[in-house]
Structure 1
Amino acid sequence: MAQDRAEPLADNAPHILVVDDDQKIRGLLGRFLSSNGFRVTEAADAAAARAFMRGLAFDLVLLDVMMPGESGLSLARDLKLTRPVPICMLTALAEAQDRISGLEAGVDDYVSKPFDPRELLLRLRNILRRGQMQSAPRDEIRMGGCVFSIARGELKRDDEAIKLTERERDLLRLFSQRIGVAVPRHELSSDDSTGSERAIDVQINRLRRKIEADPSNPVYLQTVRGKGYILYTD
């Protein structure tokens, strides 16, 4: 792939996988990102993307929604369940439900076509920056007005302590280790009689009442249909 940079890329340059069935867009994105310090691999569809990911590690995936064969949204859902790679969706779809579906799947950000290349660059750099911050050990996680201290197992809202059960404390600690990644119900179950997958749904609803401003429309602790639950933080 041609590059516009006069000097070679740094050894630690972020590696981005661009997945789009439009060859022209792939080429433009490849040249633009390469000229701005990224290492780029291009894939024409989900199958090609999967083949690349079996042998290469990527720092971020820039993924088109509408593609022949497996859709970008389907690929995003699977990747978020199997590997912690940040994903930015590139889409011509403007409907709110399409964006919500992507966010429920764990997508980190959306960029709508047509897009300003400078805005895309900012968004990609912000995603990578957030990933670097999240990779460092955390003492606490923030969800709106709520702060959970992982070591102490304490939940506070606006500095006011919120009582947690032992199970709720365990759930928050587990989610804090896999922020932005869907956790299957069976992994959330405990070994005792209260830990069945059906009981997990009840426990999640109770936990939502403690961390969500509107538990019926959760922002932070969301359901991934047919999979389990996923926690987002600020």
Structure 2
Amino acid sequence: MISDITYNLLVVDDDERIRNLLRQYLIKQGFIVSTASGSEEARNKIKLMRFDLIVLDIMMPGDDGLILTREIRDNSQTPIILLTAKSGTESKIEGLELGADDYLTKPFNPKELLLRILSVLKRSTIEENIENEIYFGDFILNIEKRELTLSGERMYLTDREMNLLIALAKSPGQPLNREKLAGVDEPGRSVDVGINRLRRKIEKDPRMPIWLQTVRGKGYILRPDR
């Protein structure tokens, strides 16, 4: 077993040999695996069962994998890994734009697919566990709406300030160093400047912050109530 959790996968490919190979390999790795030979069969199985991840071939007769990806994304956030025989990048880019989480070019080693499945599942599990609303004092941060309220009144934050606050809120109680926060900051601008401006808006005394603190040698940390 690769995990204490048993994940339910759907493999969609019109090539019976590939379907059977992946099914047997992934079952040995501890997954529950269903298969479908095309989009229509996949639709029927998706209606009947909940899948934790879908491995989906792009090139199939009838509705291809890109059409099915769009349909799935219209109704759910189930992770999708696309399989493509195309060496070009257009179909890969289109698939990612439609909401696929990753892709793999045929031919591939089943172990590489396994590693990608584990990576996508880990990422999606972390995202599911992130609270959408973060509370600190009389503040409520709604991550999805990108909205900060104080006692019910919406506060104005610049995009830069909101990006920094959300990045910290997604790792509550864990310090993030300047390098990690620089990834959400504007190029050429100091993370420290952004943090100081944010403190002036959310702290009673910015010189002695309660919520947005500095952890010496590690970076900055948001300490929410819950």
Do these two structures clear the TM 0.5 threshold for a shared fold by scoring above it? yes
2:112 aligned partner? 119
Determine whether 1:128 maps to 2:116: no
Determine whether 1:137 maps to 2:130: yes
Give how far 1:11 is off.
9.0
Give how far 1:153 is off.
3.6
C-alpha distance in 1 between matches for 2:17 and 2:99 = 28
C-alpha distance in 2 between matches for 1:75 and 1:152 = 33
What does the per-residue CA deviation read over 1:140-195, in whole Å, with 9 as the maximum and x for residues that have no partner? 9xxxxxxx9838649xxxxxx9725xxxx7xxx9xxxxxxxxxxxxxxxxxxxxxx
Give how far 1:83 is off.
1.1
**Percent identity between the aligned chains?**
39
Q: For the structure 1 residues 12 and 152, does the alpha-carbon distance in structure 2 shift closer, same or farther, using more than 3 Å as the test?
A: same
Give the total of aligned pairs: 153
What does the per-residue CA deviation read over 1:182-220, in whole Å, with 9 as the maximum and x for residues that have no partner? xxxxxxxxxxxxxxxxxxxxxxxxxxxx9887xxxxxxx
One of 85, 109, 116 as aligned partner of 1:92: 85
TM-score (norm 2): 0.59
C-alpha distance in 1 between matches for 2:69 and 2:147 = 34
One of 19, 31, 48 as aligned partner of 2:12: 19
RMSD: 3.5
Amino acid in the other structure paired with 1:96: T
Can you give the 5+ residue segments of structure 1 that lack an aligned partner in the other structure? 1-6, 141-147, 155-160, 174-209, 214-234
1:52 aligned partner? 45
Amino acid in the other structure paired with 2:28: S
Give how far 1:118 is off.
1.3
C-alpha distance in 2 between matches for 1:10 and 1:163 = 41
2:33 aligned partner? 40
Amino acid in the other structure paired with 1:17: L
Give how far 1:137 is off.
2.4
Amino acid in the other structure paired with 1:123: R
One of 154, 158, 163 as aligned partner of 1:163: 158
TM-score (norm 1): 0.57
